[in-house]
């Protein structure tokens, strides 16, 4: 005789909606988390949602409008020999070469330079397209050492040390094998055509 647990009604959550709970139950039952394109699964903030408080960017004007207020930011003013000066307090976060193409990295570098801010290499290493068109380029250094190159490290304007990956739930960042071209495989010292996770090396890879 086979005994089965009596079915129970799914509990409501004060944090997640019914659709999110159904996705969690599906992933728990199948062991597969959802990877798909067609944009984000949740509504993201728009530039119109940003609110800048002038009193937080500059000193409070004590004598009418004589105090100058702008959006410029200086990073490393206390200890850096070459502080980084940005025109706006918004930077482009790291997106890896591999998940993004060379032309896309070039476009980010051009856009960041026009806006007076910095862009970040991500965990795929530095590309010539990005370095050539980025006035200020931050090199992302990861525990996985993906794309780590001492020469490129010296060519960067700043270094961002990644301690942990907390922005992505489930399996973390995934780089599909179909995106690992000859160039990506060479930069990352990885086998071509095998799915890779950005947090660590593939368990089947025995390279350096």
Q: Is residue 103 part of a domain?
A: yes
Q: What is the pLDDT of residue 41?
A: 65
Domain count, the chain: 1
Q: What is the pLDDT of residue 206?
A: 37
Q: Is residue 25 part of a domain?
A: no
Classify residue 134 by burial, with Cβ atoms within 10 Å: 0-12, 13-18, 19+. Answer: buried
Q: Is residue 74 part of a domain?
A: yes
Domain interval for residue 167: 68-207
Q: Is residue 4 part of a domain?
A: no
* Pick from 114, 117, 109, 131: nearest CA to 75: 117
Q: Is residue 136 part of a domain?
A: yes
Contact 192, 178 (CB under 8 A): no
Q: Is residue 144 part of a domain?
A: yes
Q: What is the pLDDT of residue 204?
A: 38
Euclidean distance between CA atoms 112 and 91, whole angstroms: 8
Q: Model's pTM, two decimal places?
A: 0.62
Q: What is the pLDDT of residue 199?
A: 47
Cα angle: 35, vertex 160, 124; to 5 degrees: 45
For tokens 């409501």, the residue is 12
Q: Is residue 49 part of a domain?
A: no
pLDDT tens for each residue of the chain, 208 residues long: 566 667 777 778 888 888 888 888 888 888 776 665 556 667 777 778 877 665 555 555 556 566 666 788 999 988 888 999 999 999 999 888 888 889 999 999 999 999 999 999 988 889 999 999 999 999 998 877 677 888 999 999 999 988 766 555 444 567 778 888 888 888 887 788 888 765 444 333 333 3
Contact 123, 96 (CB under 8 A): yes
Contact 137, 131 (CB under 8 A): yes
Q: Is residue 155 part of a domain?
A: yes
């Amino acid at each position: 005789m086979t005994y089965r647990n009596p079915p129970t009604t799914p509990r409501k959550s004060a944090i997640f909606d019914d659709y999110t709970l159904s996705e969690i139950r599906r992933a728990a039952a199948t062991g597969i988390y959802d990877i798909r394109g067609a944009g984000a699964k949740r509504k993201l903030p728009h530039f119109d949602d940003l609110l800048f408080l002038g009193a937080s960017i500059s000193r409070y004007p004590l004598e009418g409008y004589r105090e100058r207020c702008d959006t410029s930011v200086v990073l490393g003013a206390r200890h850096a020999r070459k502080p980084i000066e940005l025109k706006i307090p918004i930077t482009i976060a790291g997106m890896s070469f591999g998940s993004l193409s060379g032309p896309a990295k070039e476009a980010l570098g051009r856009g960041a330079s026009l806006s007076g801010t910095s862009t970040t290499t991500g965990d795929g290493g530095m590309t010539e397209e990005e370095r050539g068109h980025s006035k200020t380029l931050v090199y992302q250094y990861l525990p996985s050492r993906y794309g780590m190159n001492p020469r490129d490290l010296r060519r960067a304007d700043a270094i961002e040390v990644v301690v942990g990956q907390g922005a992505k739930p489930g399996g973390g960042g995934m780089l599909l094998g179909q995106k690992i071209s000859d160039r990506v495989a060479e930069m990352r010292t990885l086998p071509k055509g095998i799915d890779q996770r950005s947090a660590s090396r593939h368990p089947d890879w025995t390279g350096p």
